[in-house]
Amino acid sequence: MAIRWLFFDLGSTLVDESLAYENRVKTLLAGSELDYQETWERLIEDYKNGLRGDLALAERLNKPLPKWTFQDEHLYPEVQSVLDCLSAQYHLGL
């Protein structure tokens, strides 16, 4: 059976969401005494382990989770050329 379709996850696969996530964390930490760098490193480890560290941080600080800033998302530089190349041979989906 030949492969005819390739499906991609959007966030952190095709789209770099790191700036949007960073801005969310900075908003959460505003007014707190938590160290940004320590908090950031912990959240990245949580994220790598499939956890929602930003949600846990919001709960810990008793703050609402800030809205996601989509304007801070960007395609990774090589995405367009890779998708163009793959679309010549496969159907693509998200």
Q: Where are the domains of the chain?
A: 1-17+73-94, 18-70
DSSP 10: S
pLDDT at position 87 over 90: yes
45 Cβ contact list (under 8 Å, min separation 6): 53
Using one digit for the tens of pLDDT, what is the confidence trace for 50-59? Answer: 888 899 889 8
Q: DSSP alpha helices (H): ranges in the chain?
A: 18-29, 36-48, 53-60, 79-87
pLDDT at position 77 over 90: yes
pTM of the entire predicted model: 0.76
Identify the H or E element spanning 75.
strand 74-75
Nearest 5 degrees, angle CA 64-CA 68-CA 69? 135
Q: Which pLDDT band holds residue 72 (cuts at 50, 70, 90)?
A: very high
Using one digit for the tens of pLDDT, what is the confidence trace for 4-47? Answer: 999 999 988 999 999 999 999 999 999 999 999 999 888 888 88
Q: Can you give the pLDDT at residue 56?
A: 86
